[in-house]
Amino acid sequence: MEGDAPGAVRERGGSGGASPPASPAEDVRGRIDGVLSSASPILDLSKSGLRHLEEIFKIPMLKQLHLQGNALRALPADLFQLLPNLTWLDLRHNRVTALPPGIGSHRYLKTLLLERNPIKTLPVELGEYL
């Protein structure tokens, strides 16, 4: 890319002109749309700058959700009802302070990664599985 400005991104198969990189919101939307169109049960939104979870709930068939390295502070109370097939949830390196009580009644969740979150207490329901 000789002669291009530093950080310029070329479109694949395009005319060679520079195109601006996607915004974080566009990147997240693109990943979600990719999972919806491919029916993949895995969504990786690691290090995407997420502060809230909204669009993910359109994917009830999700089995693995990778959210490490974001800025999430809270999880929606109905997260586990809206994602009934979730088996793997990676929340490492976020700012989550509490887990919704519904986590204890989730049927399929097998792996929950919470390292580097300022969680002080866990829902009582989790004690049934320890």
Q: Supply the pLDDT for residue 20.
A: 61
Residue 100 vs residue 94, higher pLDDT: 94
Tokens of 40: 């993949």
Phi/psi-derived region of residue 52, left when phi > 0, alpha when psi is between -120 and 50, beta in every other case: beta
Q: pTM score, two decimals?
A: 0.77
Encoded tokens for 46 = 């690691």
Q: Is 80 exceeded by the pLDDT of residue 2?
A: no
Query: Which pLDDT value is given to residue 28?
Result: 86
Predicted local confidence at residue 130, as pLDDT:
60
Domains identified in the chain and CATH numbers:
22-118 (3.80.10.10)
